[in-house]
Amino acid sequence: MRLPPLSFRLLAAAGALACASLLAYGYYLQYFEGQDPCPLCLLQRGSYYALIVVFAAAAMHDPGRKGRIAWGVAAFLAAASGVGVATRQVYLQHLPPDQVPACGPDLFFMMENLPVARTLQLLFRGSGQCAEVKWRFLGLSIAEWSLLWFLAFAALAVLLALKKGLRR
């Protein structure tokens, strides 16, 4: 039995729902399990929010071929930003303890007291807090799971942009 092709709208909506679910679990870990997000975690949340916006708008728009490519590229860029940040955090988590950068000020202190360019520089560099692993599932840290999810969303974005068999 052959299954009918999935619709563009269904796949885009599924991407938005998956991102929302991941963010909800992140907030659960933060507020109920005491897992405070590090600066790189906050940047990853921003990428998840961007993906929600792109996927949800794409699902509501139900575009033609050129629109699907545009939405796919936008989703890919949002996912790629998450891949970059998550990769940096995974790298920090695998450094030997003597090479981990020192913990820095939190995001709110930096936003209030530093210029925007310096705040962004410090955020992307990460800190010792970003290298801490307090939670694992199936042997992977939150950052490693996040990296896998961003790669999956990037693949979904490519599928949405290039797949010809998707119904509108």
Cα distance between residue 165 and residue 54, in whole Å: 21
More confident site: 142 or 77: 77
Is pLDDT of 37 > 90?
no
Cα distance between residue 83 and residue 114, in whole Å: 26
Nearest CA to 41 among 142, 119, 135, 110? 142
Cα distance between residue 41 and residue 43, in whole Å: 5
Angstrom CA distances, 68 to 14, 50, 81, stand at 15, 17, 20
Is pLDDT of 97 > 70?
no
Q: What is the pLDDT of residues 1-32, one digit of tens each?
A: 454 556 888 888 999 999 999 999 988 988 88
For the chain, the average pLDDT equals 80
Query: Do residues 148 and 137 touch, judged by C-beta distance below 8 A?
Result: no
Question: Alpha-carbon torsion 150, 22, 53, 118, what sign?
Answer: negative
Lowest mean pLDDT among 58-72, 118-132, 141-155: 118-132
Query: Do residues 6 and 71 touch, judged by C-beta distance below 8 A?
Result: no
Kindly list the structural domains of the chain, giving each domain's residue range(s) and its CATH number in brackets, ordered by start: 8-162 (1.20.1550.10)
